A and B are shown apart, each in its own frame.
Chain A
């Protein structure tokens, strides 16, 4: 349960499609206490994140998997350590 699997999707280029992927992994225990708390809150209620500015488009979302649970949250709600964990690749 300590590993978080991250996938970044969306954006102008549509990451998450057949060829374009963005993936990463972090250990929960490597995150700061504040970021750990943010992650706990996201998993407790992923719909509770602050809404994006109306009209916003082409922003990334993050699919975060912990154990058997996967949530998808907008980039502005994701701690920078998690955002920076992903690497963009061609498949």
Chain B
């Protein structure tokens, strides 16, 4: 066994290995020691390099985290949850199952790549969905732990999984539950709904690589059924023009029009318009800066269940300064957005 002690300098070891007074066996061991010592030194150098690379890139390492699991269940037109698990949703011949799997996977990617968030809870929570819920059920919802999609009645609405903004909207309710924890009435309820519309719309634009000018800013466009379209309704909500005639669910445009008992899907009109206006004022991609300000305001401060719209507006104004201190246009755009709705 050669001596691999590294305390003796290499040149001394080399000199000793050539000393004819020492036995041939010992001289051979000394040569081996020099070789091992050299390899160890090389290994240490490489390790140091690797450590430096890791340290330099550590902030970005979370993006390498495994993607969350995405599961899909089939309620088979009952209202029993979660229904039957679908073993291979990615290749399912059922369009609702396949769409739900693919779009949910893309929402996970959207949150990971754009906001550096690992799933709904930022800890890799499984994204679970049930499709074909109920009979001709005109709804999609988040029940506190999973997404639920109805098939629509085929007249007013078609299958709710057809809207990628719907899928983004529902998943975002989960994100809100794991961050601001907004209540579902009053100002907080309206904010809760608006945040889901904002991130649902951003997801739809991100998938289509659309800038704020090219985007249509409509919510629910792809789930409108033939009966609704025939009546001239092209969407549920229009973030750019919440009170428009083509909206099946027209909303108020001013904060002063929001009343205490209002359904959050109507109270969300003013913050939706504020977000749109901020994005349109700044230009570019909605998720690039204004989206970052909204995400920071949603996730950066812990829960505030009864947050008012005024407080949220103030937080986004502050966030624009914090995130983009050298870019006054971001603050100006956010400010313009809120002023438009009276906040």
Contact = CB atoms under 8 A, between A and B. Distances in A.
- Whether A and B are associated in the same complex: the answer reads yes
Interface of A: 9-20, 22, 52-60, 80, 83, 88-90
Interface string B108-147: 0000000000000000000000000000001111111100
Interface residues of B, number: 38
6 contacts: A13-B157, A18-B250, A52-B144, A55-B142, A55-B174, A55-B176
Contacts of B79: 80, 83
A76 B127 CA distance: 22
Contacts of A14: 236, 249, 263, 265-266
Given A13-B220, A17-B265, 12 more contacts: A12-B141, A12-B160, A17-B248, A18-B250, A19-B231, A19-B248, A20-B248, A53-B144, A53-B145, A55-B177, A88-B138, A88-B156
Contacts of A19: 231, 233, 248-250
Given A13-B220, A17-B263, A90-B227, A57 B248 contact: no
A77 to B, nearest CB: 13
Interface of B: 79, 138-145, 153, 156-157, 160, 166, 169-170, 173-174, 176-178, 181, 184, 192-193, 196, 220, 227-228, 231, 233, 236, 248-250, 263, 265-266
Contacts of B231: 19, 90
A58 B263 contact: no
A30 B287 CA distance: 53
B249 A57 contact: no
Nearest to A76: B143
Contact of B143 (A17, A56, A80): A56
